[in-house]
Amino acid sequence: MQILTPHVYWAQRHAEIYLRVDLSDAKNLDISLQENNTLQFRAQGHGAKGENEYEFSLEFFEAVRPEIKHKSTQRQVDIKIKKQEERWWDRLTLQGKKPLFLAPDFDRWLDESDAEMELQAKEEKINKINVESRVRKDPYLGLKKGYLFMYNLVQFLGFSWIFVNMTVRLFILGQDSFYDTFHTTADMMYFCQMMAVLEVINPLLGLVKTGFFPAMIQVAGRNVILFVIFGSLEEMQNKPVVFFVFYLWSTIEIFRYPFYMLACISTEWKLLTWLRYSLWIPLYPLGVVAEAVAVIQSLPIFDETRLFSFPLPALLGHSLSFSYTLQLYLVLMFLGLFINFRHLYKQRKRRYRSRKRKVQ
């Protein structure tokens, strides 16, 4: 039987050499490393010249370790050899001229800089695993995630009900639906916004990583509008501004809460992630503008009814109208918009930066 040379493909990393021998159904494998760092290969199988006995030898560019790992499949023989020193070789063989049967393995091929990046990524992954193994696991982690999942699910269902109710009524009644929004959805909005107080408590208990102050600004601001402006003034409850405030709130939340809900089970939908971190850019400022319109419309009503007025000594007058407090609140509202917008924008940048690193 004629002895022939198979096609051999190679690639390297800083610590290893990979060889792929194009020989299918290989039998009688004999792979050894000689003293002069020469690899000897002999096997019988089906190669470029059909069923024959094939052999080759390679004298490596530098020293390698004697351990050789190989795996034979129906299509090829894979060989893995560790270098004596972890560094990049200029070529595979000691002789300057490349053997005719040897070619790069482009399925594994990396240049030196790419191999360094791959090595760095592996080291970071190992370090991360080591750090995580040292960190004491939270025995209540499952319970915390279960609580957060249920909280976000309840809020999602509540705001979805509000959104669907308002949308259906808008299509059926048109502009007439603007004037009874409060009477048809207020109870559910009361429930959702009272539940939202937990979003201020959760950061304090260490259940979530979001900041305390951004959550407090948003929850407190909404509750002032809902309970003080709309809830306490019957004259405000029939105004169209209620529709726009409730509709903008619910539109933001029907994407925010399911995003957090899926995060509790380590799941991500790319479209939902994009909507959660993109829709708020126009909707959040619009919501604040709608809230500001509601506050401005309520000022003359508070002046007339003297509701929540502050009593003053007789020399200074009877009372100080609550409208002055609301005028100060208007300033704080737009300051809160700036703080929350900046916080959310940073969140968005961090999110997409981390996703970009994963892709790379």
User: Quick one: how far is CA 299 from the chain centroid?
Assistant: 43
Q: What distance in Å separates the CA atoms of residue 329 and residue 307, rounded to the nearest whole number?
A: 16
Strands 50-59 and 38-47, how do they pair?
A: antiparallel
Catalytic hit among 284, 304, 345, 352: 284
The yes-or-no answer on residue 291 being catalytic is yes
What is each CA distance from 339 to 235, 334, 335, 336, in whole angstroms?
Answer: 32, 9, 6, 5
The yes-or-no answer on residue 324 being catalytic is no
Which element (helix H / strand E) includes 66? Answer: strand 64-72
Q: What distance in Å separates the CA atoms of residue 81 and residue 193, rounded to the nearest whole number?
A: 63
In the block, which residue shows the tokens 């390679």?
58
Q: What distance in Å separates the CA atoms of residue 104 and residue 300, rounded to the nearest whole number?
A: 81
The two counts, helices (H) then strands (E), for the chain are: 9, 11
Report the 10 Å Cβ neighbour count for 94: 13
At 102, phi and psi to the nearest 5? -100, 135
Residues 333, 291: contact at Cβ < 8 Å?
Answer: yes
Catalytic hit among 9, 151, 291, 329: 291
Catalytic annotation, residues: 284, 291
